[in-house]
Amino acid sequence: MGSPRLALVGTFVVGGLLLFAVGLFMIGDRRLLFTERFEVEADFGNVTGIAIGTGVRLAGFDAGEVLAVEIPLNPGERFVVRMRVREDLRPLVRTDSVAAVLTDGLLGSVFIQIRSGSADASSVADGGRIRGVDAVEIADLIEEGRDTFRTVAAEFLGLRAQMSATLGDLGETITTTNELITGVGEDVDTITSASAAVMDAARAVLADTRALVENLAEGHGTVGRLLGDDALYTHLVGSVRETEATMQAVRRSAEQVEQAIDRFGGPDSETVRMLADAGEAVAHARDAMSDLAENTEALKRNWLFSRFFGERGFYNLDQLTRDEYRELFRDDRYTPLRIWVDGDLLFEAAAAGEITLAPGAVRRLDEAMAELLDYPRDSPLVVEGYAVGGNPGEEFRQAQAHADAVRAYLVEAYRRVATLTGTMPIGSAAGGSPSGDGRWNGVALTMFVATDRLTAPAPAAAGAP
């Protein structure tokens, strides 16, 4: 056998042994045979899957392996697992560290995970013991998963029922919202038209009041001389300022209503919030209108301004007798326009002696109002009630009922401002009525239009009833 062959044999043997040694080194390296290490123990009640050589990790880092599993001597005692851990990881293994048996994935091998201890605890000594947490059995997990699934299924069914109920409620809410929006729209229309009329009137009142106060402050007239009384002056100025503040509130409320209406127009997902805004704005507008009405009413009832308001048309008709009412027709600053409406087909007797409008009354009243629609809507309108038959008391009561029924319709159908629409039961005497005999059964719609606001040719003024 020649040298080359011997060399090949030597190569085969030595190379094979080296390769074998590489395998040994790789395994030994994984088993920390060439690394400084220390031993630590942990006790477990269940050591499923743990055997000699089972991997040990510290916070996920390969740290060592299991050296031995000591079997307890008595039932109830715990297994003690002795582990070999890299020495350089000892600072992380503290006396309060916890060892847990985990599985590397569903199919992976079992390993022991050591959780780093707290900084306050001391490092574990060589051969020291730490607390162990038992392994989680797959069967337990499956059982727990089954229970969880049942719970989730039950919750899901409950949720579905709740969803059904919620959807039903949502449908009702949408219906209610639609109705509310419709209602708000009607309220807004009413408030907008009413507030415009009231604000115009209030603006005029303020201008006149301011002029009057200035005259009084300059000492004109008897009252002017009374202005030495500071309390009265202060009261007047306060009333004016309060009215101005009320007007500003009305204006702001109207602006809010407009903004809310604009926002209602868009397909915004914040409809609900806007609806709330609109409702709030409407409420503010109502409050402001109420304040204005109260303040205006207060001014009207003030002894100093009652006449003034009477001249402006803000009559408190309850305080006027029929003769005083007839006196108003002599005031040339206003042109009274009267439309006579026959009551024969206008009313019908309702239960309990009340009188309501007959089915054909609406058309007749609309025809009558058509003649007055060309004049400013803020002109005071007085529904004069007439009735024939019976004693004067009965005629008065009947006339009042006629006037009330017609006024209610006008306020409702023509959005007349209630404070600018009054009633005056006259009775049977009706000077200038179409009947020709000075008597009338029905109503007369008398509108007091400011003479300076009439356009030529001016209509003929009606005479006193």
Partner 1 sequence: MPDFFRRFVVAPPARAGDAVVFAARAVREAFRPPFELRETARQLYEIGWLSVPLIAAAGFAVGIVLSMHTRASLQRFGAEALIPAALTLALVRETGPLVVGLLVSGRVGAGVGAELGAMKVTEQVDALEASAVDSFKFLVVTRMVACVVAMPILTTVMNFTGIVGGWVAETAISGMGFRTYFEAAFSIVQFTDYLPGTLKTTVFGFIIAITASYLGLRTSHGTQGVGRSATRSVVLASMLMIAANVVLVRLIFFVFPETAE
Q: Which of 60, 76, 105, 393 binds partner 1 (CB under 8 A)?
A: 105
Q: Does 12 bind partner 1 (CB under 8 A)?
A: yes
Residue the block writes with tokens 């207060």: 298
- Which residues in 262-281 contact partner 1 (CB under 8 A)? none
Single out the segment in contact with partner 1 by CB under 8 A; choices: 18-26, 127-135, 176-184, 208-216.
18-26
Q: How far is the CB of 109 from partner 1 (least distance, A)?
A: 6
Say if residues 99 and 13 touch (Cβ distance below 8 Å): no
Q: How far is the CB of 184 from partner 1 (least distance, A)?
A: 60
Q: Residue 329 gets which letter from DSSP?
A: G
Amino acid residing at 75: P
Does a cis peptide bond (omega within 30 degrees of 0) precede residue 457?
A: yes
Residue 128: beta bridge partners? 40
Q: Which of 35, 45, 48, 53 binds partner 1 (CB under 8 A)?
A: 53
| 228 phi/psi in degrees, rounded to 5 | -60, -20
> For residue 33, what are the CA distances in angstroms to 41, 112, 333, 463?
19, 19, 120, 128
Minimum CB distance to partner 1 smaller for 84 or for 94: 84
Single out the segment in contact with partner 1 by CB under 8 A; choices: 23-31, 169-177, 277-285, 390-398.
23-31
List all residues 6 or more positions away from 121 whose beta carbon is below 8 Å from its beta carbon.
Answer: 94, 95, 96, 97
Q: Does 19 bind partner 1 (CB under 8 A)?
A: yes
Instruction: Name the token pair of 416.
Output: 């007349």
First and final C-alpha spacing in the chain: 157
Q: How far is the CB of 106 from partner 1 (least distance, A)?
A: 6
Q: Which of 35, 48, 109, 166 binds partner 1 (CB under 8 A)?
A: 109
Single out the segment in contact with partner 1 by CB under 8 A; choices: 24-32, 75-83, 134-142, 144-152.
24-32
Q: Which of 45, 48, 51, 158 binds partner 1 (CB under 8 A)?
A: 51
Q: Which of 71, 106, 231, 456 binds partner 1 (CB under 8 A)?
A: 106
Question: CA-CA distance, 107 to 419, in Å (whole number)?
Answer: 88
Residue-by-residue DSSP string for 49-106:
T--TT-EEEETTEEEEEEEEEEPPSSTT--EEEEEEEEGGGGGG-BTT-EEEEEESTT
Closest by CA position to 89, among listed 108, 110, 113:
113
Single out the segment in contact with partner 1 by CB under 8 A; choices: 16-24, 77-85, 126-134, 152-160.
16-24
Q: How far is the CB of 176 from partner 1 (least distance, A)?
A: 53
Total Cβ atoms within 10 A of residue 320: 17
Minimum CB distance to partner 1 smaller for 9 or for 226: 9
Question: CA-CA distance, 433 to 448, in Å (whole number)?
Answer: 18
Residue the block writes with tokens 């109260």: 294
Single out the segment in contact with partner 1 by CB under 8 A; choices: 19-27, 37-45, 190-198, 295-303.
19-27
Instruction: Name the token pair of 165.
Output: 């109920």
Q: Does 13 bind partner 1 (CB under 8 A)?
A: yes
Q: Does 5 bind partner 1 (CB under 8 A)?
A: yes
Minimum CB distance to partner 1 smaller for 17 or for 142: 17
Instruction: Name the token pair of 159.
Output: 């949720």
Q: Does 107 bind partner 1 (CB under 8 A)?
A: yes
Minimum CB distance to partner 1 smaller for 9 or for 59: 9
Minimum CB distance to partner 1 smaller for 52 or for 362: 52
Binding site for partner 1 (CB under 8 A): 1, 5-6, 8-9, 11-13, 15-17, 19-20, 22-24, 26-31, 51-53, 55, 105-109
